[in-house]
A and B are shown apart, each in its own frame.
Chain A
Amino acid sequence: MNPIIDFLSYNLRRMAIPVGGVGLLFINTIKSFRPPWERENIVNQMVQVGVMSLPVVMITGLFTGMVLAAQTYYQFHKLTVETAVGLVVGLSMTRELGPVLAGLMLAGRIGAAFASEIGTMTVTEQVDALHTLATDPVKYLVVPRLIACAALVPILTIITVFIGIAGGYVVGVKMFGINGTYYLRNMSEYMCPWDIMGGLVKAFIFGIVIAIIGCYKGFNTEGGAEGVGRATTGAVVTSCILILILDFFIVFIYKGLGVG
């Protein structure tokens, strides 16, 4: 009757089934988390996820840090508190921009790759073939990807953060001539280790989201090349949205735990 309510309830119902499926896949993955390990697959995924994503996260970090420093400088310059630019860049990068932007970029790169690889395997019966060769697809395909993401998304995030801070320093100190000593002192005095740790815990969670959503979409691919395309897009969109939503709630969880 009310088209907006209809639309929302339709979409909420449509979302309920996947939520159960994703949860189940996650539980199955944790259950399969034991030896014998698929060493070769784990190493392959580590290379795919870690090494191949380096350029993407480096560029993301660099330009985010630089633009953040520039924007902050222009505002803070009016108030003559330029030396706080470093602190703003540092805090934003470690707490929010580093984990979230790296997460979003990696969802685009890794999540899409997972969904399309596993999706192709699903529609060409390779997943069925794994079953007939007495091999659990979750153990063979998902566990290595989850390990790679959970371990490496945080590391890639640290790299994003540090390159961002370095980029901010170059713009602030070298370009705009802020006093470098004060810039660094302000940053180190007002930041605490938790700023970095909190960001890393987020990145760890985002890594799990990217891996599980990508694999889930892959396993649930239907109908040839077109279906693989749909699964890939779906994986990227879903994991990006989940990352943004989770990021919001994690802030309050941290506050609740008294660590934010």
Chain B
Amino acid sequence: MIEIKGLHKSFGGNPVLNGVNLNIQKGETMVIIGQSGGGKSVLLKHIVGILKPDEGEVWVDGVNITNMDNNALNKVRCRFGMLFQGAALFDSLTVGENVSFALKRYTALSEKDIQEKVKEKLALVGLRDIENIKPAELSGGMKKRVGLARAIAMDPEVVFYDEPTTGVDPIMADAINNLILDLHNKLKITSIAVTHDMVSAYKIADRIAMLYQGAIIGVGTPDEIKETTNPIIHQFITGEAQGPIPH
């Protein structure tokens, strides 16, 4: 349902994406792994149309969204939810207003139903009674979880997670993994997650893709990835300093 075709992107002459090709099926959880600074966040932003590629295309359900104007793109985005690496909560709004942001704009729900929904989504990420405080008062991990609640508030069909488990404690990380699994199993949500947390990757992924030097160098199920013969992927998933990846 999401096809990424030959995506190229440079920033100030610095190539970041160098011909990325990747297909993500409906209902699957695709985990993209790769080095820090390797362009994973940049890739996600291309899929949701925040960044425009120098070359290449992004197709969603058979529609090319690469050069869509903002109005048409916003219709597509209504079916998306995105968790940003730094949470990207609106700091002028309260936690509750952040989570209900899209609900208030794009649904006809009553104020009461919206509040209920906000409570429900916050509970899903393990948070209670924080609707009225501002993001500045939250810890990094709490912000991340509020960001996650905001991403799933509209019950999207596709959710993008940029490092969902980074910056939260191991127990909470596992709870977030379970949440992603739940959304996948119960609601058949398509998920695209970016992470360097291999524990999380193995747990949630249907397939794992490795982004290296601006291209996808391997895609496979977690078992296939574990058994890989590609020395670069092998070095990355085992986390060894010794190997072909320069650092």
Contact = CB atoms under 8 A, between A and B. Distances in A.
B49 to A, nearest CB: 7
A129 B90 contact: yes
Q: How large is the interface on A (under 10, 10 to 19, 20 to 34, 35 or more residues)?
A: 10 to 19
A126 B136 CA distance: 14
Contacts of A121: 90
Contact of A124 (B45, B78, B88, B160): B88
Contact of A125 (B74, B75, B88): B88
Contacts of B90: 121, 126, 129
Nearest to B75: A134
Contacts of B82: 129, 132
A131 interface: yes
Contact of A136 (B70, B101, B106): B70
B48 interface: yes
Q: How large is the interface on B (under 10, 10 to 19, 20 to 34, 35 or more residues)?
A: 20 to 34
A124 B106 contact: no
Nearest to A133: B102
Contacts of B92: 117
B112 interface: no
The majority secondary structure among interface residues of chain A is helix
A82 B127 CA distance: 73
A136 B74 CA distance: 8
B105 A132 contact: no
Interface string A123-142: 01110110111111000000
13 contacts: A117-B92, A121-B90, A125-B84, A125-B86, A129-B82, A132-B160, A133-B77, A133-B101, A133-B102, A134-B75, A134-B77, A135-B102, A135-B105
Nearest 10 pairs of A and B residues by beta carbon: A125-B88, A129-B88, A134-B74, A132-B82, A134-B77, A133-B102, A128-B50, A134-B78, A125-B84, A131-B50
Interface of B: 45, 48-50, 70, 74-75, 77-78, 80-82, 84-86, 88-92, 101-102, 105-106, 150, 160
Interface of A: 117, 120-121, 124-126, 128-129, 131-136
